[in-house]
Amino acid sequence: MKYPAVHYHDYLQIDKILNSQNPKSHEYGKPAHDEMLFIVVHQTYELWFKQILFELNAVLATFSREKVEETEMGVASSRLERTVSILKMIIGQIDVLETMTPLDFLEFRDMLYPASGFQSYQWRLIETKLGLRMTDRLAFNQSPFYKALSPDQQNEMMNVLNQPSLFDAVEKWLERTPFLQSQNFTFWGSYQDAVTRMFHDDMNIVRNNSALSEQDKEKNLKSLEASLGTFAALFDENAFAELRSQGHFRLSFKALHAALLIQLYRDQPILQTPFRIIRALLDIDETMTNWRYRHALMAHRMLGQKIGTGGSSGHKYLADATAKHKIFSDFFNLTTFFIPRSQVPVLPPEVTERMNYR
């Protein structure tokens, strides 16, 4: 089949892109050289946000199906890994923007009120589609975050907020992990013993550590006991429900068990792709946190203690959001209960049989 000839400029709509930089400082007759960089960096971010959303929408569609095929899982994990690569790369653009000094920024900053990254619809979509809920967000100006968006975007955002996020879809997928209910599968009992032993060993290390004061020992022991208590709740549905209602866990009882199983037995061929997916989700959360942190530092060096153009407390708001806006924290916290690979209980043969490809 012959296709009509395509020209580079037309195909990529280069004219449209290159004619979309209109510095306000030029419009007001006070040209500020660095405003061009400021615009180009923001626009580049929005293009990459578009690509991230394209990948996330595809992954969300895959995970929302009743039954996720193995072949689709490989593609889904590659798309999540691509998202991580993009996020890592766009953090680097902060270096470029920071070649603009605060004094140069001040030349045009006043012309931008009340525009702010707070109004970035695509960034909000990324966060929300991944699973950042209203309740996870910092309060801002006593009104919900979406009030900063245009009326059309607000309507669309309400729809997105009411649909299952990637977190929700992944949770359902984890709950369907088949190997949790094998008849002779006494794995959890042996695993509990191994982890409890590890915590008791850690407590002995603290007790015998002559470098610690009695006060510090007591503090560390209390924290280990609390972790042990949380670990015990992983195997008691009622205790777990109590901790979950207090916000200690977000994933369901079943999903958390599946995530633990996948992490511990990731070398089993059938758990390799699920493991890659969990790792990519961890990476996305970590990289978004890195981005938020770098962005907060940039805002600090550019603004000092000034408030943001969007009306927040500036770098302080951004630093607090960095600490709070997390989605897949359960995957991070599960690591508390990891034991050395050599001590992970051996799976019964009928389970490994089912886990291996023939």
CA R_g for the chain: 25
Cα–Cα dist 238/257, whole Å: 15
CA dist., res. 58 & res. 76, Å (int): 8
What is the spatial distance between Cα 3 and Cα 254, in angstroms, rounded to a whole number? 52
Give me the least distance between CB of 117 and ligand HEM, in Å please.
Answer: 2
User: Which residue lies nearer to ligand HEM by CB, 166 or 296?
Assistant: 296
Minimum distance of ligand HEM from residue 160's CB (angstroms): 16
Q: Which is nearer to ligand HEM, 274 or 310 (CB)?
A: 310
Position of tokens 């923001």? Answer: 42
Burial class of residue 198 (count of CB atoms within 10 Å of its CB; 0-12, 13-18, 19+): middle
CA distance 82 to 52: 8
Q: How many distinct helices (H) and strands (E) make up the chain?
A: 18, 0
Q: Which H or E run contains 109?
A: helix 102-109
The residue among 79 and 295 lying less far from ligand HEM, judged by its C-beta, is 295
- Enumerate binding residues for ligand HEM (CB under 6 A): 41-42, 45, 97, 105, 116-118, 120, 123, 295, 298-299, 302-303, 308-312, 314, 317-318, 321
Find the shortest distance in angstroms from Cβ 138 to ligand HEM.
8
In the complex with ligand HEM, which residue's Cβ is closer, 128 or 309? 309
**Least Å from the CB of residue 284 to ligand HEM:** 15
Residue 109 CB, nearest distance to ligand HEM (Å)?
8
Least distance from ligand HEM to the Cβ atom of residue 306, Å: 8
Instruction: Indicate the residue among 46 and 216 with the shorter CB distance to ligand HEM.
Output: 46
136: DSSP letter:
G
The residue among 82 and 316 lying less far from ligand HEM, judged by its C-beta, is 316
Give the Å distances, CA to CA, from 155 to 121, 158, 161. Answer: 12, 5, 10
